[in-house]
Structure 1
Amino acid sequence: MLALVSIICFYGTLASLMNCIFSQRVIPMGPPIIKEKVKQEACDEPSCPVASSRLTSGLLKIARLLEDGGVCGIPTDTVYALAASCKNPQAIEKIYNIKDRPAEKPICICISSVEQLVAARPPLSPLLWEFMRNVYPGGISCIVSKGDWLYRLGVGPAYDRVGTRDSIMIRVPDHTVTCHLCDITGPLAITSANPSGESDSTHHSMVINRLGHKIQGVLCDGDSNEVVASTVVNCLRIDEGVITIVREGCVPAIKVQQIFDRLKNSMI
């Protein structure tokens, strides 16, 4: 018995020494007899409620938070965005405080399809309709004239909180989850999910780490499809045959201009 115990002790000492020296299991050892329970640190807990974009329950959870007046981080077809329901103008005001966003910078609206615009009957020119049908859904935001049609679209309560006095920027993302969310909640006011002046958030963990302590939830969807935001196109003078690239984002300005020139020439 003494010899057996000595052999076991020698083997254990040798195995521990060799495994420690080579930083890997060179000599196999069995599982520990006494297992110590390691407590998860509080910092591992997310700082705000999170939901999976792959689960219907997750989508409904974020929709409820938005409809209750919360601000949530959501994925889009470009980078992550902060969203607030247009039914809750006060939530849109929260976005400015959360981001430290200058008050003079307008916030755009996000809808699920061009068909929603058609139902609202905005007085858009044939060329503008054709342009939007060619760029939506996708990583392009169009600035168009404001009007009473926004009330029919469902933006009524937030009319004065989105866009400028005379114009509104519209996004129709090429992202199934985001569009389903808009179908549930109605139009959403969105802006990039980052502190003002900082880089865009390209993963839900970035949203949580940067703004999780200020917002009511995050719809987790992993890596974003792009590393920059949408390309913004001013369409206010489109009837004069002119569009202006306000911000070049994921869609190159030259590609946007080529689409517009093709459509303009086809309608002459």
Structure 2
Amino acid sequence: MLITKIYKPSEFNEAAKELRLGELVAFPTETVYGLGADATNEQAVKRVYLAKGRPSDNPLIVTVSSLEMVKRFVPSLSKEVEKIIEKFWPGSLTIVLKIKDGSLSKTVTGGLKTAAFRMPKNETTLNLITALGNPIVGPSANSSGKPSPTTAQHVYHDLEGRIAGILDDGPTDVGVESTIIDMSTEIPTILRPGAVTAEEIEKVIGKEVYSDKHKVKENEIPKAPGMKYKHYAPSAQVLIVNKDNWNSALQWANENKNQVGILADDEVLSKALENKTYSLGENVESAAKNLFAGLRYFDDDNQIKYILAEAFPEEGVGLAYMNRLKKSAGNQFYNK
């Protein structure tokens, strides 16, 4: 079993050496922690799937530190893509682009002729990638299907002994993964909602952006992570609670207080006196930042069988929050 080393932000060169040797190193971003391997090293990339227990038809995001790095793999960039990159990179936006034939292995792309590229807003990770000299793949650094990690400790909990190191830069700021927009098709389409909204992108490119509602079929290869399989799920059953149902939900929780955890904003938690709780803060922005940490908090308690989680309006970052929450709950709502 590997000894998983914790690296300080200043030790990015040491972490880059591990990546150069084909090892796996988790890295911080402003959204969640990613699991890094040299994207040009097919054997290292295959180890990412093994470490996570991830389905091999789920493509990996290619994480870069410069626009020049993207141009190594992409034949050309449209004016629209250039505008998006100028506005939102580095940041919480992943862009699906057509790639040059054979420029990335099928292990990275899932066999597609496209790849998803992202430049995170985290200086430590940009230093890491620059030191390596190649892009790194960057799926979330958790066991596949579990809540995404927002601290180095979450990564260590899931992957200790399976990866060489974790570059620790403290808790993440955004808390839900990046928005993914498909720019390989005629109509720009959001494949996964995140902190960057369709409306913000529309303002930059001056045309409509679709939000993709289809579900990936069993035999279909998803263009982006998180589209096909159940994600973000703790061991306990998550039940989503709409605003009008909290009185009933809190009464039920009190009757089953040892088995029910409550994940909600401070106003709701002020009424939950008998249950184990985790605060989502005061608004949807803080809720998005704290969601995965809250799910993991209850996952560490074997007594908890149900988690009541607060619903928010599906607008702005609330769209990303509810996307992740619905997946963690298997779309189950409290309706007793």
Q: What is the TM-score normalised by the length of structure 1?
A: 0.71
Q: Does 1:50 align with 2:6?
A: yes
Q: Answer yes or no: is the 8 Å Cα contact 2:83–2:205 preserved in 1.
A: no
Q: Which residue of 2 aligns with 1:35?
A: none
Q: Answer yes or no: is the 8 Å Cα contact 2:69–2:135 preserved in 1.
A: no
- Alignment equivalent of 2:121, drawn from 174, 178, 183: 174
How many angstroms apart in 2 are the aligned matches of 1:103 and 1:79? 21
Q: Which residue of 1 aligns with 2:195?
A: 250
- Aligned pair count reads 206
How many angstroms apart in 2 are the aligned matches of 1:249 and 1:188? 21
How many angstroms apart in 2 are the aligned matches of 1:70 and 1:138? 26
Q: Which residue of 1 aligns with 2:112?
A: 165
How many angstroms apart in 2 are the aligned matches of 1:234 and 1:121? 14
Q: Does 1:195 align with 2:148?
A: no
For structure 1, list consecutive stretches of 5 or more residues without a partner in the other structure: 1-45, 152-157
Distance 1:119 1:234, change over 3 A: closer
Secondary structure, counterpart of 2:131 in structure 1 = helix
For structure 2, list consecutive stretches of 5 or more residues without a partner in the other structure: 210-336
Report the alpha carbon displacement of residue 117 of structure 1 after superposing the two structures with TM. 3.3
Q: Which residue of 1 aligns with 2:37?
A: 84
Report the alpha carbon displacement of residue 69 of structure 1 after superposing the two structures with TM. 0.7
Q: Which residue of 2 aligns with 1:227?
A: 175
Report the alpha carbon displacement of residue 87 of structure 1 after superposing the two structures with TM. 3.6
| Per-residue Cα deviation, 1:11-69 (whole angstroms, up to 9, x for no partner) | xxxxxxxxxxxxxxxxxxxxxxxxxxxxxxxxxxx95111101x2xx111111111111
- Alignment equivalent of 1:105, drawn from 29, 49, 58: 58
Greater relative contact order (CA < 8 Å, ≥ 6 in sequence): 1
Q: Which residue of 2 aligns with 1:218?
A: 166
Q: What is the TM-score normalised by the length of structure 2?
A: 0.57
- Comparing 81-90 and 129-138, the one that deviates more: 129-138
Secondary structure, counterpart of 2:115 in structure 1 = strand
Report the alpha carbon displacement of residue 73 of structure 1 after superposing the two structures with TM. 0.8
Q: Answer yes or no: is the 8 Å Cα contact 1:86–1:189 preserved in 2.
A: yes
More helix by share: 1
How many angstroms apart in 2 are the aligned matches of 1:213 and 1:219? 15
Distance 1:178 1:143, change over 3 A: same
Q: Does 1:143 align with 2:96?
A: yes
How many angstroms apart in 2 are the aligned matches of 1:120 and 1:167? 10
| Per-residue Cα deviation, 1:154-180 (whole angstroms, up to 9, x for no partner) | xxxx53321242101001111111111
Secondary structure, counterpart of 1:133 in structure 2 = helix
Secondary structure, counterpart of 1:162 in structure 2 = helix
How many angstroms apart in 2 are the aligned matches of 1:250 and 1:263? 18
Q: Answer yes or no: is the 8 Å Cα contact 2:64–2:117 preserved in 1.
A: yes
Secondary structure, counterpart of 1:142 in structure 2 = strand
| Per-residue Cα deviation, 1:83-112 (whole angstroms, up to 9, x for no partner) | 001242111101111111111100111111
Report the alpha carbon displacement of residue 119 of structure 1 after superposing the two structures with TM. 6.6
How many angstroms apart in 2 are the aligned matches of 1:137 and 1:95? 24
Secondary structure, counterpart of 1:191 in structure 2 = coil
Q: Answer yes or no: is the 8 Å Cα contact 2:27–2:33 preserved in 1.
A: yes
| Per-residue Cα deviation, 1:131-175 (whole angstroms, up to 9, x for no partner) | 222221110000000115x84xxxxxx533212421010011111
How many angstroms apart in 2 are the aligned matches of 1:95 and 1:121? 23
Choose 1 or 2 for highest CA Rg.
Answer: 1
Q: Percent of counterpart pairs with the same letter?
A: 27
Q: Answer yes or no: is the 8 Å Cα contact 1:113–1:136 preserved in 2.
A: no
Distance 1:97 1:116, change over 3 A: closer
Instruction: Give the superposed CA RMSD.
Output: 2.3
Secondary structure, counterpart of 1:69 in structure 2 = coil
Secondary structure, counterpart of 1:232 in structure 2 = strand
Distance 1:130 1:256, change over 3 A: closer
Q: Which residue of 2 aligns with 1:154?
A: none
| Partner amino acid, structure 2, of 1:117 | V
Report the alpha carbon displacement of residue 124 of structure 1 after superposing the two structures with TM. 2.3
Report the alpha carbon displacement of residue 256 of structure 1 after superposing the two structures with TM. 2.7
Secondary structure, counterpart of 2:144 in structure 1 = coil
Q: Answer yes or no: is the 8 Å Cα contact 1:74–1:82 preserved in 2.
A: yes
| Partner amino acid, structure 2, of 1:206 | H
